[in-house]
Amino acid sequence: MLLPGMGDLRSAYRHVVPLLVAAGLRVATLDLPGHGDSGISPVPVGQAQIARAAVALVERLGGPAVVVGHSFTPDSALLTTQLAPDAIVGAVAIAPWATTPTPSRLMAAITRLVTRTPMLWSLFYRSLHKAPPVDLAAHRRRIVASLRRPHGTDALVAMGTGRTKDAIGARATQVAPVAVVMGAADPDFTDPAAEARDYADATRGEVVMVPGAGHYPHAERPGETAAAILALARRVGWQVGARA
């Protein structure tokens, strides 16, 4: 089960899905509440709400499952393993935030502007890639179209405030295996390797650094990202195919 990050669509995993399927996995991707085909959310979208949506889909499709989260949603992925431990047996955290920085007033104002403005969000999204895929422009156009719907930026704005990060506590109680995947050149972090280590330490996870990748290694380096997901699948006892 693949969960995109804030302001993104399930097609963020378009390059990873075929690799996982080729290795023998059944794969589902989920638009977050308030994003894409999930429609407009009537309440601010929090990490716990995302986790519950993922659990509901796993229960509908049938487990066992591994849940993958990116940037805003790794804590959601952790929480799914705790809400449904029999059905969800592992989590992958891609580009997770181990820290919760307090923005200055200026940065908070800039964040509000960017998250309320689809084209500015698209430009910011582009800036976080260090090895952009050839179809990034087309993917960004899909994001902009989704955000331009009536109330289409509501979920993104709420996420941008940081007040809906309500599953951080799941790190301290994590039992199921965790893999942390971080782009070695991720511009969102001053020290991506240290951020990955800190998140792994908090969740007893294992770190995989992806050389040359920015904040979206699943789009920039899908082979390495798929390999990390498959390695976690093997850790939980699944028989999967050749390494990506």
* Residue range 215-224: mean pLDDT, rounded: 98
The residue with greater pLDDT, 172 or 102, is 172
Check residue 40 and give its pLDDT.
Answer: 76
User: How many domains does one find in the chain?
Assistant: 1
Whether residue 3 lies inside any domain: the answer is: no
Query: CA-to-CA distance for 208 and 210, rounded, in angstroms?
Result: 6
Domain region containing 29: 10-235
pLDDT digits (tens, 9 = 90+) for 120-173: 999 999 999 999 999 999 999 999 999 999 999 999 999 998 888 999 999 999
Check residue 242 and give its pLDDT.
Answer: 57
* Residue range 207-226: mean pLDDT, rounded: 98
Our CA dihedral for 160, 7, 196, 188, rounded to 10 degrees, sits at -70
186-222: burial string, b at 16+ Cβ within 10 Å, e else? beebeebeebbbbbbebbebebbbbeebbbbbbbbbb
Which residue shows structure tokens 């935030």? 97
Query: CA-to-CA distance for 197 and 199, rounded, in angstroms?
Result: 5
Whether the bond into 103 is cis, omega within 30 of 0: no
CB < 8 Å & 24+ apart, contacts of 105-112 = 108/161, 111/160, 111/161, 112/157, 112/160, 112/161
The residue with greater pLDDT, 244 or 215, is 215
Single out the residue of 36, 71, 38 nearest to residue 54, CA to CA: 38
Q: Confidence band (pLDDT; 50, 70, 90) for 207? A: very high
pLDDT digits (tens, 9 = 90+) for 38-91: 877 667 789 999 999 999 999 999 989 999 999 999 999 999 999 999 999 999
* Residue range 10-18: mean pLDDT, rounded: 97
On the question of pLDDT at 184 being above 80, the answer is yes
Q: Confidence band (pLDDT; 50, 70, 90) for 244? A: very low
Specify the pTM.
0.94
CATH code, domain with 135: 3.40.50.1820
